Amino acid sequence: MNEFRNAKPADAQRCFEIETVAYEGDEAATLEKISKRIEVYPDGFLILEERGEIVGFINCGCAHEVEMSDEDFKELVGHDPDAPNVVIMSVVVDPAYQGKGLSRALMVEFVGRMKRMGKSTIHLICKDHHVPFYERFGYSYLQPSTSDHGGMTWHDMSMKL
């Protein structure tokens, strides 16, 4: 049974563990960044639990003007919880739980929450192989990203709500 909730400070270590095993190299956020995201914007940090264990999450910030390559924003510098544009920083499921539709469940719940909060758009960057995944949810491909986060190639995508 999947359960969704907003993150709390005690979740930071488990979220960091998942981020570290699921992402490559320098792509993963640090424990400090994850802790700050929970502290600053818990409404934008959605946790997925299965049988009481955190197995995945999505976190974000909100901005009036979206600049996907802004590394400071990953620490929520410039974040405004009342801004209409959502910027996703992580969509991640523990590799031990992947292949069960949990990323899809997380995204459906997250999009619904953002709509209920009155947000206008959701933005994200992703690697090549994830573009079709996000397109299935209604995200539009915008352009190759100027971000070189983790020394990798990324693509900007967005969805109007």
pTM of the model: 0.93
Residue-wise pLDDT for 80-90, tens only, equals 999 999 999 99
Q: What percent of the chain has pLDDT over 90?
A: 78
Spans of all domains in the chain: 2-160
72: DSSP letter = G
Residue-wise pLDDT for 39-72, tens only, equals 999 999 999 999 999 999 999 999 999 987 788 8
Which run of H or of E encompasses 40?
Answer: helix 31-40
pLDDT average, residue stretch 16-25: 89
CATH number of 2-160: 3.40.630.30
Residue-wise pLDDT for 127-158, tens only, equals 899 999 999 999 999 998 888 777 778 899 99
For the record, the structure tokens of 153 come out as 């190639």
Count CB neighbours of 51 within 10 A: 8
Nearest-angstrom CA–CA distance, 19 and 139: 23
Top-ranked range on mean pLDDT: pick from 25-29, 117-121, 127-131, 147-151: 117-121
State the burial class of residue 3 (Cβ atoms within 10 Å of its Cβ: 0-12, 13-18, 19+): exposed
